[in-house]
Amino acid sequence: MTDTANNLVPKRGKLWRFVASVGAWLQALEYTSFDYTQDRIDRLERKVAGLTEELRQSRASSPRESEPQ
């Protein structure tokens, strides 16, 4: 009896993995043009923030040319 109960667990696990993969596939189909545009905007904003920080660090580390010598 215990042996029969243990055999059901792997089958149930396979079923749930299958259901989860089908759910993920269906969710991937719901990627709209708005989602794509929003993702692109988010990536561009992150890139601009990174470049701004890089420029700020570059300006902070370079010697000032307007200082008298």
Collapsing DSSP to helix, strand or coil, 61 comes out as: helix
Place of tokens 């709209």: 32
Q: What is the mean pLDDT of residues 35-63?
A: 94
To the question of pTM greater than 0.85 for the whole model, the response is no
> CA 61 → CA 12, 38, 51, 58, 65, distances in Å?
60, 35, 15, 5, 12
Least confident of 12-16, 52-56, 59-63: 12-16
- Give the separation between CA 3 and CA 9, rounded to whole angstroms: 11
Mean pLDDT for the stretch of residues 23-46:
91
